[in-house]
Structure 1
Amino acid sequence: MKKAKILLASLVGSIIEWYDFYLYGTATGLVFSSLFFPNHDPAVSILIAFATFGAGYAARPIGSIIFGHMGDRIGRKASLMLTLIGMGGSSFLIGLLPTYAQIGIIAPAMLVILRLLQGIALGGEWGGAVLLATESAGKGIRGFFGSVPQLGVPIGLVLGTFSFTIISALTTEAQFMAWGWRIPFLFSIVLIVIAVWIRSGIEETPEFQRKKEQGELEKIPVVAVFKYNAKDIFRLIGLKLGDGFFNVFLMSFILVYATTYLDYSRDTALLGLTLSCATMIITIPLVGYLSDFIGRKIIYTGGLVAMIVLTIPYFMTIPINTTWFFTMQIVLLGFVWGAIFATQGTLFSELFPANVRYTGLSLGYQIAAAIVGFGPMIWTAMGTSFGASPFAFGGFMIASLVVSLVLILFAPDTRVVSQYDDDVEDKVTSLDNEVKEKTAVELS
């Protein structure tokens, strides 16, 4: 029961954080470009709107340092409570913002500030949620535990896109643009209250507790991690770049790409995205479980190779019809990227020791996220110059994927050799076995 509560706490908070973060991504092309960044040229409006979308990614490394420091000094739990409040509060306020037509330039300025706060909060949430799960796992189940908070990404996005789909279906275009788009943002406050309540009842992770009791916590974790683990931070950044660019395309920019360059309707684009994310909900825990038997490195390598092979076919077939569009979205995002993402939290966390793990894991991941977050700006410019060229867009993706593939080939097999404390894991596993034996005796 204790383990289940920890997994629930890591998952629920992660779902809400990503729900809020991707609400903005969904609204960027559909709403914000016209309501907050009006311009006589729609392409310019979209470009400016996606610049603010990228600003949220750029702010994530700041959050990783702030909350990573707190997580490595005070504890994982305290840090995660604050990230929830920061993200939920920002999203709620976005739902209350007046538009450019109502207050002029102040509207987009306030939107950018709230987006930056979202990015800072998410910069600390992802790493903390992963560690809450993996540091509470016994031996042999860390991969599965690490995959559970990763479910927050597809579930959060499905909830976000589904909410927009429902509101869009129930309102006219004028109503949706006037007030309908605000409802999903305002609903964030309800979700945050639920998540804070769940997380308030969990305990600190065993590995952090041990480091604290032994007085082995770093005074300035960000300095220590660059002093002793700089190579792993840069390795993590490179490993994330390849799938990161494609992920941002498949989960955010695809809404603009499909509607602007492929002439699909907004509802069709949202449905394709929702179906592929729903598929990931099945893929991620299954692959996470499998990684405990065959290793994270093998799955990660295979996923990158599959992505490289399917990149050009993806861009060539999705314009054909909706069947191809849905199928390729499901295959590339739902299965292939889902498999890669299922292993990332555990794989990356296994590179760092417990006293700097929150900072190292979060900082490396969020620096990569800051880089790939500006992909939509690049692709908007590419679309203006080349249209929906499979070789322009495909070539960009393949180049970044190759970088990650080379790095994973030289990365350690962390299932065999990791920075996790085996003594703590032995104790966690032993306690699990004692609880099982005690329960069996009581039942008999």
Structure 2
Amino acid sequence: MKKSRILMASLVGSVIEWYDFYLYGTATGLVFSYLFFPNHDPAISLLIAFATFGAGYAARPIGSIIFGHMGDKIGRKAALMLTLIGMGGSSFLIGLLPTYAQIGLFAPILLVLLRLIQGISLGGEWGGAVLLATEYAPKGVRGLYGSIPQLGVPLGLVAGSFSLTLISSLTTDEQFLAWGWRIPFLLSIVLVALALWIRNGIDETPAFQQQKESGDLAKVPFFETFRSNWKTVLQVIGLKLGDGFFNVFLMSFVLVFSTMYLGYSRDIALTALTIGCATMIITIPVVGYLSDFIGRKTIYTAGLILMFLLAIPYFTMVGESPAWLYFFQAAMLGVIWAAIFSTQGTLFSELFPAKVRYTGLSVGYQIAAAIVGFGPMLWTSMAEAYGPSPWVFGGFMMAGVTISLILILFTNDTRKVSSYQDSDESVETDKSLSI
């Protein structure tokens, strides 16, 4: 099977999943806090709205268990088809929801239910997309292949942010809140149909086919994972926490932080976010390729150190002018976090054997995501109590990064020793970059 179709299948679904997921995050502060959670105190409305945003993250471990079981037991392809349907369908329905003014309390209840479906779907999508790329990768370029589905994050967020920015620029504030915000959600159904068509034409990965032919499939992948690989799951959780908090801030809460607490306009905030994501599109595949030569661990460690050192300068300077906000979004999100994230899928997947790889990779990553997903609630309270204090916010980020820094020191260089070695001979060993 052509590698180009495999990589496109891993990327296109990831783009749509993250488009839908972060579209909700972008709309939380700009739309949902007003239309679905009205309150006389804007801070309370925002806090409640971000609680539903966090609920999507909290649901992701559930999805990792459900689709991890399916991916390790039935196959990667079946799991990835269902995650697309769940995410796209729920996003389309969000675009049709009546507001609080129209149906009262049912509006936020339905919104939360659909957000939970989004979270469950994404909980199974990320791990499967990574494995689709890495388990098909020729030996020697797994880092490059594993970075391709990671491009779904910036591409999806750019698409979501651009769609909201475009609609916002073409409508008045009243029109945007009345109907404009719904258009990007409704477009999800078209994108999902395209992704389903592409994924339907792929085969199972060589690693899973080998496990199935040998009959060595886990009876209950979740229990098998925690029986034999529970330490690795905890390791993945800790490795993700440090950059995870910064990621959620840089890719979602920055819109609220820069508009409500720094006084920037909505267009400036969205432009800064778009600049950071556009930079990531270049950084991710380049660093993914470099990781095949200098190692995932080296890049991961360097990224965490830079993130730690620049935490307080970031929060100090972004309030000075839009130029600093643009620069630091490009540097922190587009270069430093992108370098960490580009290696993350490959690094984490290389820690688990094929038998429980989908489950172990997904559960560890998504538990960490569930924890960091409630960051916006904490930051809203912090901002109300201390304002946009660089020491408070920077210190919070440094504490999370420290956890990951300690754990990466005890992580093997998986470029040299990985769980993929048992099945490397079953796939192409040419180090050519042709796809």
Report the TM-score when normalising by structure 2. Answer: 0.99
Contact 1:59 1:123 in 2 (8 A): yes
1:409 aligns with 2:409: yes
CA distance in structure 1 between the partners assigned to 2:421 and 2:364 by the alignment: 21
Contact 2:138 2:430 in 1 (8 A): no
Relative to structure 1, is the Cα distance of residues 217 and 330 closer, same or farther in structure 2, using a 3 angstrom cutoff?
same
CA distance in structure 2 between the partners assigned to 1:237 and 1:229 by the alignment: 13
Aligned-pair distance for 1:103? Answer: 0.2
Contact 1:138 1:426 in 2 (8 A): no
How many aligned residue pairs are there?
434
Equivalence for 1:442: none
CA distance in structure 2 between the partners assigned to 1:57 and 1:13 by the alignment: 18
Equivalence for 1:440: none
CA distance in structure 1 between the partners assigned to 2:201 and 2:96 by the alignment: 31
What runs of 5+ residues in structure 1 fail to find an aligned partner?
437-444
CA distance in structure 2 between the partners assigned to 1:409 and 1:61 by the alignment: 26
Equivalence for 2:3: 3
1:350 aligns with 2:338: no
Relative to structure 1, is the Cα distance of residues 432 and 263 closer, same or farther in structure 2, using a 3 angstrom cutoff?
closer
Contact 2:23 2:160 in 1 (8 A): yes
Equivalence for 1:183: 183
1:256 aligns with 2:250: no
Query: What secondary structure does 2:229 align onto?
Result: helix
User: What CA deviation, in whole Å up to 9, does each residue of 1:337-358 have, x standing for no partner?
Assistant: 0000000000000000001000
Equivalence for 1:121: 121
Equivalence for 2:72: 72
Relative to structure 1, is the Cα distance of residues 319 and 45 closer, same or farther in structure 2, using a 3 angstrom cutoff?
same
Query: What secondary structure does 1:420 align onto?
Result: helix
CA distance in structure 1 between the partners assigned to 2:138 and 2:286 by the alignment: 18
Contact 1:207 1:421 in 2 (8 A): no
Equivalence for 1:374: 374
Equivalence for 1:95: 95
1:14 aligns with 2:14: yes
Query: What secondary structure does 1:16 align onto?
Result: helix
Contact 2:139 2:431 in 1 (8 A): no
CA distance in structure 1 between the partners assigned to 2:299 and 2:123 by the alignment: 25
User: What CA deviation, in whole Å up to 9, does each residue of 1:376-431 have, x standing for no partner?
Assistant: 00000000000000000000000000000000011111111111144x32232258
Equivalence for 2:384: 384
Contact 1:94 1:111 in 2 (8 A): yes
Percent of aligned pairs sharing the same letter: 71
Contact 2:140 2:431 in 1 (8 A): no
User: What CA deviation, in whole Å up to 9, does each residue of 1:63-82 have, x standing for no partner?
Assistant: 00000000000000000000
Equivalence for 2:231: 231
CA distance in structure 2 between the partners assigned to 1:44 and 1:18 by the alignment: 27
User: What CA deviation, in whole Å up to 9, does each residue of 1:234-268 have, x standing for no partner?
Assistant: 00000000000000000000000000000000010
What runs of 5+ residues in structure 2 fail to find an aligned partner?
none
Contact 1:33 1:49 in 2 (8 A): yes
CA distance in structure 2 between the partners assigned to 1:299 and 1:255 by the alignment: 28
CA distance in structure 2 between the partners assigned to 1:144 and 1:106 by the alignment: 46
Contact 1:64 1:124 in 2 (8 A): yes
Letter in 2 for 1:420: Y
CA distance in structure 1 between the partners assigned to 2:10 and 2:428 by the alignment: 20
Letter in 2 for 1:407: L
Query: How do 1:15-164 residues align onto structure 2 when only pairs under 5 Å count?
Result: 15-164=15-164
Contact 1:300 1:340 in 2 (8 A): yes
Letter in 1 for 2:425: D
Equivalence for 1:247: 247
CA distance in structure 2 between the partners assigned to 1:401 and 1:427 by the alignment: 38
CA distance in structure 2 between the partners assigned to 1:5 and 1:72 by the alignment: 22
CA distance in structure 2 between the partners assigned to 1:18 and 1:7 by the alignment: 16
Equivalence for 1:426: 425
CA distance in structure 2 between the partners assigned to 1:409 and 1:181 by the alignment: 45
Equivalence for 1:328: 328
Aligned-pair distance for 1:138? Answer: 1.4
Relative to structure 1, is the Cα distance of residues 405 and 222 closer, same or farther in structure 2, using a 3 angstrom cutoff?
same
CA distance in structure 1 between the partners assigned to 2:243 and 2:159 by the alignment: 23
1:361 aligns with 2:365: no
CA distance in structure 1 between the partners assigned to 2:111 and 2:428 by the alignment: 47
Letter in 2 for 1:154: P
Aligned-pair distance for 1:432? Answer: 8.7
CA distance in structure 1 between the partners assigned to 2:157 and 2:246 by the alignment: 16
Letter in 2 for 1:102: Q
Query: What secondary structure does 2:420 align onto?
Result: coil
CA distance in structure 1 between the partners assigned to 2:183 and 2:71 by the alignment: 33
CA distance in structure 2 between the partners assigned to 1:421 and 1:119 by the alignment: 32
CA distance in structure 2 between the partners assigned to 1:26 and 1:173 by the alignment: 16
Query: What secondary structure does 1:429 align onto?
Result: coil
Contact 1:60 1:369 in 2 (8 A): yes
CA distance in structure 1 between the partners assigned to 2:106 and 2:351 by the alignment: 44
Aligned-pair distance for 1:304? Answer: 0.1
Report the TM-score when normalising by structure 1. Answer: 0.97
